[in-house]
Amino acid sequence: MIERENPARFAEIVGSVPVSTPDAVDEIVRRAGAEQRRWAALPLPDRLAALTHAAAAIENTVDDLATLLARESGKVLADCRGELGFAVRFLRWVAGRAIGVYADQAVDDDLGRLVHLRKPYGVVAAVTPWNAPVILAMLKIAPALAAGNAIVVKPSPLAPLTISRVAGLFDAPVRLVHGGAETGAALVGHELVRKVAFTGGAAGGRAVAALAGDRLTPSVLELGGNDPAVFLDDAPLADDAMDRLVMATFATSGQVCMAAKRLYVPEARLDDFVAAYLTAADRVLVTGDPLVPGVTMGPVISAAAQRSAAAFRVPAALDLGRFDADPDTGYFVRPALVVSPDPVSPLVTTEQFAPVVPVLGYRDENAVLAAANAGDLGLGASVWSADEERAFEFARRFEAGFTFVNTHNRTGMSLRAPFGGVKRSGWGREYADEGLLEYVQTCVIHAPAAFRPGAAPTGTGPSAYPAG
């Protein structure tokens, strides 16, 4: 049994779920496989109607679900409501968009008759993290179901409760398994799994990729990032921009793959930037119990995360915002800004996944670009400038899958913009048409013009290359 504690009050057990043994995983996957054949046989509009019904069911219970999510994850209540609301919006977006994306495409012309079919894989395995357990599962569940797949989700043991309730609101082949590495391996390596979708850290990604690769199972991996935020010399330090930047770093206590994790500012503006950042943190950053109104940052997820965050703090770290929390009763960490750390320190070169952020000065754009692109990760980045054209030209030179302009993190996302990393931040995409297409296989039916009924003899040999 997995018991989930409240990270804001770790003596409180929020709920529990049973561990799925490998035998249980096998049974669940096989049941999902049988359900998938019936589900795929339904007309596409019927499958999409199931998504809209689930969206309405989530919307009708959003307050209870948000409270449960805040208690199990430590995310502030407003963020939990926002995550659930966005999950509803995503479900409805998929229900509207999939009609065009998954429709057959036919061409009948002088070259022949060609039909593109969008066919489901079968059973999809999804392994999801704790930091946004509902929306990160929904990014996989919604397109997988719309395409005609069944899906088996293994959520993180650190946040299994809310997504379990949400999955139960679907009248569709959505199944859950719970557990750690053994459960995940049994799911990803199952012989009936035909596609794997994973969001999480590098270690988990390597394990999932190795298992999937051993079975030649295609996968989509969204892994970690060490996102740079580069302020050009003309970037305004206005209140609204600095407020966005602070929350882009410290939302979910900094435990977000696409958080702003390294801040780069021209040396001549460093003092002004730090002053503006501290003032913004005083305005928007309040650390405390996530269920208390007005709190904008809760605890980190676990004791291990609390220890890891403490290791990044240095004596010169500047405390940020208001701290209304007790680290002895919950996994709270005082958020901090570290000015001009050693550029090769772990605080700068690794993904902190903690409420501690470095700010570094730079002298020229080529140097800061080299620093921003250093390392193996390439998930997100941002550039800040009063000149949008200049920002876009600079952004083209980032080694990142998604670059924000004058914002960062979730305020810069869009349903129409595919999201994913380059380098060792993963492969495949979520959101947009590209995200929908991850859950179908393109199959074709082709009748070349030369061999259609009534076609004139070509005079070509039986092994000729195609004419077009």
Active site residues: 222, 257
Bridging pattern class, strands 377-378 and 422-423 = antiparallel
| Residue 76 to residue 243: CA distance in whole angstroms | 17
| Residue 112 to residue 108: CA distance in whole angstroms | 6
Structure tokens at 341: 């750390």
Q: Count other C-beta atoms under 10 Å from residue 316's C-beta.
A: 11
HEC readout, the chain: CEEEEECCEEEEEEEEECCCCHHHHHHHHHHHHHHHHHHHHCCHHHHHHHHHHHHHHHHHCHHHHHHHHHHHHCCCHHHHHHHHHHHHHHHHHHHHHHHHHCCCEEEEECCEEEEEEEEECCEEEEECCCCCHHHHHHHHHHHHHHHCCEEEEECCCCCCHHHHHHHCCCCCCEEECCCCHHHHHHHHCCCCEEEEEEECCHHHHHHHHHHHHHCCCCEEEECCCCCEEEECCCCCCCHHHHHHHHHHHHHHHHCCCCCCCEEEEEHHHHHHHHHHHHHHHHHHCEEECCCCCCCCECCCCCHHHHHHHHHHCCCCCEECCEEECCCCCCCCCCCEEEECCCCCCHHHHCCCCCCEEEEEEECCHHHHHHHHHCCCEECEEEEECCCHHHHHHHHCCCCCCEEEECCCHHHHCCCCCCECCEECCEECCECHHHHHHCCEEEEEEEEEHHHCCCCCCCCCCCCCCCCC
Sheet holding 356-362, edge to edge: 318-319, 336-339, 356-362, 262-266, 228-231, 380-384, 402-405
CB 135 within 8 A of CB 415: no
| Placement of tokens 């193996």 in the chain | 376
Bridging pattern class, strands 105-109 and 112-120 = antiparallel
Sorted by sequence, the CB contacts under 8 Å of residue 34 that are 6+ apart come out as none
